[in-house]
Structure 1
């Protein structure tokens, strides 16, 4: 993880959570298929919400009277009553009432309770009397009733189909994403270890430097960290505290550069860093493989992150801040093999980080 200049030394950094989130996001977006799936899901959501409902909403046509809101059904009944008052054609009025289906009696009852000013009470009473004598509403299929076209489901079928398609696309996209995420990071079988788990075993077995036996002062913090090929999210950070528990800073190591494409990542350089809460900036140095160190373009590109160091076994790298000093020792390392240039990526590297107060 890169540690950049910090203009606020009083704030304690949160590298571990930040680096994990950024590492996961970077790893996810490094796969073209993941980008395609994410773009597909975003496109569906954008098209459904913004285009489908905002810019070009669906316009329904040929809706039936049964799909009107209760307020408009009452207005429709008022028109039927007015028409009956003028023509006295009950069969026609009954046919029009039947268009409302089973809701007609309820709508008529609501209108009778509150006729309003549009129609007179006498006109409404006359219509209700004819309605009662005529046997009420006959629904489609009942004896003696008028036949109502079966068109009520036409528009609803279209909306149902649209929603079903949208939901299907969303679920399919989500399942694809979950499948690839679980394939890469899902539960593993009993006894199967990840590269990060195996790296922890290397760190536990590595022998740390006994500085007191060498006649030197004992460091206030001493850590061992290991990278193994396949640990694509490798990024270790450690807190530096005084013997009394006071927070002094942080240190760590992360992936600085990779070579080639595909999985697992082929790491060609690591960055080691030291943060001092009493200093205005973080010190960073870059441990490079033999190939990238001697490649002018790669060497210069990584030099912008920190001082370039050629990684070799037993090499010691010193980082100093205002009040802290850290010695990074390469306990062991090896290069990977394959179609890439020789000594161009690490198969394994074990580092020791020892910190003293200046």
Structure 2
């Protein structure tokens, strides 16, 4: 019966039908399953997130717990966290965190009956002795030498090709001695200066705000918000100036814009969700305020870059001073 059907339809026709069916299934699966009706994950628990986002979520929980020790951290973490997974994630975060972050993470770990502490880099185990012949060892060492020399020469040429523009200087960000500010009755409890120069594509300094006794109150800083154009280095047209208050558990942000970005309706609309827009001008002051902290940021120096982009559209250099005060009544509390 099957042979009769094959003879009636034709072997080539049947093969073509089978191939067409297989190709149709594959194309339908790719088109419908991935483009038209893709799988969408919803209501994921924190433990199901990507490792990087799990660390971000634990950092937020640690900040919240630092502000209120009565919080139910187990409820905030959600379900299905294993002890080993929490221990491993917190230990990884502690190993790459600063002093203030380490203290918060250790407090969270203690609340979860865990112990974490900063550790140095793990040393690789010594190589096992094997029966490699001296001739093979010489060949391997020669190959390694060639790779090291060749790789070093390549990196040297690559770095020369990506050198900073002539006259550019590295960015500098540092804590400075507090000085009196106009309109302020007292000197700030902390003062910082952040300097950006064209070519620093990872400009994102942050500073801890602490009392004289070392109690952590919050953080402030400035970072790249938006760049325009293409190619390296980034042509930064706007920066974010921000303040985090541990007692407020939120971050207040304002966007410091170039003249071009400030007057471009499209860019202003795009950056509006990040914070209130402020036009960058020499001497311009930006005020940020939370529940217990105030930060004033002042533009000390600024210089626009030149090139094929619109005039006054990106920064060649920007120096911003940030000063922090604890609100009246909070210091006594």
TM superposition score normalised by structure 1: 0.46
Q: Which protein is bigger by CA-based radius of gyration? A: 1
Question: Greater relative contact order (Cα 8 A, min sep 6): structure 1 or 2?
Answer: 1
